[in-house]
Amino acid sequence: MTRDELSRWIDSYLAAWRSGQGVDELFTRDARYRSSPYMEPYEGIAAIEKFWKRETDEGEEFTVDAEIVAVEGDTGVVRLDVEYTAPKQRHYRDLWIVTMGADGRCTAFEEWPFWPPGSEGGYAPGP
């Protein structure tokens, strides 16, 4: 994987998160998606889609600043600053570890989300 390939994948991920569609274009059929380092992974497209639907608020508006920290072989690390402005205001910083398959789709995704002290944050329990 190159930095350009990872950058395009990040853009596609953010577009898919906003639209709620395209999970199957981002992830392989048997992809493992870990929403927090200690959570059990969601396995496969259907489980990832279900998680996304549960974690997305209707009318959600947000901005993301993403910086690729490293790319080594088929794995990349991304640092993100995420600001939700509607329907709820939330801010957090995030690290992603993304492993790509030969077809350019993600085979393993691990997220390390961090919220400011005293703020609302965190994900619902895993599958």
Domain boundaries, the chain: 3-114
Tell me which of 3.40.640.10, 3.10.450.50, 3.40.50.12280, 1.10.150.80 is the CATH number of domain 3-114. Answer: 3.10.450.50
With contact defined as beta carbons under 8 Å apart, do 108 and 99 qualify?
Answer: yes
CB hemisphere CA count around 83 (13 angstroms): 4
Q: What is the predicted pLDDT for the residue at 119? A: 67
Low-confidence ranges of the chain (pLDDT < 50): 123-127
Rounded to two decimals, what is the model's pTM? Answer: 0.88
Q: What is the predicted pLDDT for the residue at 58? A: 77
Q: What is the predicted pLDDT for the residue at 122? A: 52
- Distance in angstroms (rounded) separating the CA atoms of residues 77 and 111: 10
Tokens of 11: 């853009």
Q: What is the predicted pLDDT for the residue at 125? A: 41
